[in-house]
Structure 1
């Protein structure tokens, strides 16, 4: 399964990290060590995501969107890219049960397919360990065998997605190595 290399890789404009580095004359302000920084939080900010939140804590600003399976995979990829040691990379796959007289489980459904589904399932797998890290189902999916088939399909999808993520991490490591000063 090839990755999509045509995607925009980030913001159109960026600033070098030196711009945000503290100057020599800057020192942290004295404050009460038990006091929290001012916090602003808002949930449900993005309508396209299953869940979203915006948080400001002092000068730190974070926007987070959750699309379940995609969020699991992206978070694991970001942790691995940051060098955080993990037992394995978690890969997530979403499924939805198409309504109708002969319902079928769809792997990696679109937003529209999810909205019109009778049931949904998110499978998270650690492929090297062959261990299920998470399983979340909702809706009415009929027979038990139907859910068993859905889990099996989700696990197969995770296994097929894993090599793409490995290639992504290898490519990022090579770029980081090539950019490192000698």
Structure 2
């Protein structure tokens, strides 16, 4: 009988993968959460950012938070969006935002990949991303134009939307888009209970147990808040005011890291251009 080379032949005998698992996934998560050392609620998780990674996009950035959050962002534009001869929109250009989760993004996926709930969550995150970025982009300088930015969540370790805001702003700046300032995102969550404290940049397990969540976007050079997104169980107004102050402080502390990443990308691009020019003239 001829072999079908288009089909991958599996083994004749197979066993369920549960037999090789040392500890069930749910039990492993509980052990990790219980055995985790308490951390300073005002401490920021170390952040790594790098701009100019993707050659297929006009601007790109990669942001990673200690604990597992990894976001890859890309930006394109400005590109003409209106027909020639049509009047320019009164508000200038348009900013299109997309947020997607990789199927393998979460260890314990919050919703089934590809489900209606997953798509709805991605649409809400994209709308929040646009709300945070629009005040930072000088859309009036791009009439009849369209700017696009896409954020892909590779791994969800908590504070994913805040990392996407910072990465998307970095990608737009790397693409040469005129901006008032970089939008910096910082997330917080409040532990359940009447005496629950706010935590800066919570992890995925902390977000899952949280009674309230808050994501703040700030333009540090202008000292202007571009978005405040949050919800959860109600608390005293002083507690929410304290959370906003903590978020503002966190954004100011993250700002130098993003600026340094953008400067490094500009220096690399300048060095590459200089090398190519020198090679061509020789």
TM-score under structure 1 length normalisation: 0.68
Instruction: State the partner residue of 1:149.
Output: 242
CA contact (8 A) 2:169 2:184 kept: yes
Match of 2:172 in 1: 79
* 1:161 aligned residue: 254
Cα deviation per residue 1:69-110 (whole Å; 9 max; x = unaligned)? 111111000000111000111001000001235210000000
Is the alpha carbon distance of 1:73 and 1:171 closer, same or farther for their aligned partners in structure 2, counting shifts above 3 Å?
A: same
- CA RMSD in angstroms, aligned pairs only: 3.2
CA 1:63–1:77 in structure 2 vs 1: closer, same or farther (change >3 Å)?
A: closer
Tell me, in whole angstroms, the C-alpha distance in 2 between the residues paired with 1:114 and 1:100: 14
The equivalent of 2:192 in structure 1 is 99
CA contact (8 A) 1:126 1:133 kept: yes
Question: Residues 122 and 135 of structure 1 are in contact (CA less than 8 Å); yes or no, is this contact kept in structure 2?
Answer: yes
Distance across 2 between alignment mates of 1:136 and 1:108? 14
Conserved 8 A contact 2:151-2:168:
no
**Alpha-carbon distance in structure 2 between the residues aligned to 1:160 and 1:119:** 23
Quick one: distance in 2 between partners of 1:121 and 1:63?
Answer: 20
Measure, in 1, the Cα distance between the counterparts of 2:257 and 2:209: 29
For 1:75 and 1:63, the matched residues in 2 are separated by 7
The answer as to 2:275 corresponding to 1:175 is no
Q: Determine the structure 1 residue equivalent to 2:80.
A: none
TM-fit CA distance, 1:162: 0.2
Name the counterpart of 1:137: 230
Superposition map of 1:29-108 within 5 A: 46=103, 48=106, 51-52=121-122, 64-65=152-153, 67-108=160-201
Query: Normalization by structure 2: what TM-score?
Result: 0.45
Contact 1:52 1:63 in 2 (8 A): no
Q: Who wins on radius of gyration, i.e. which is larger?
A: 2
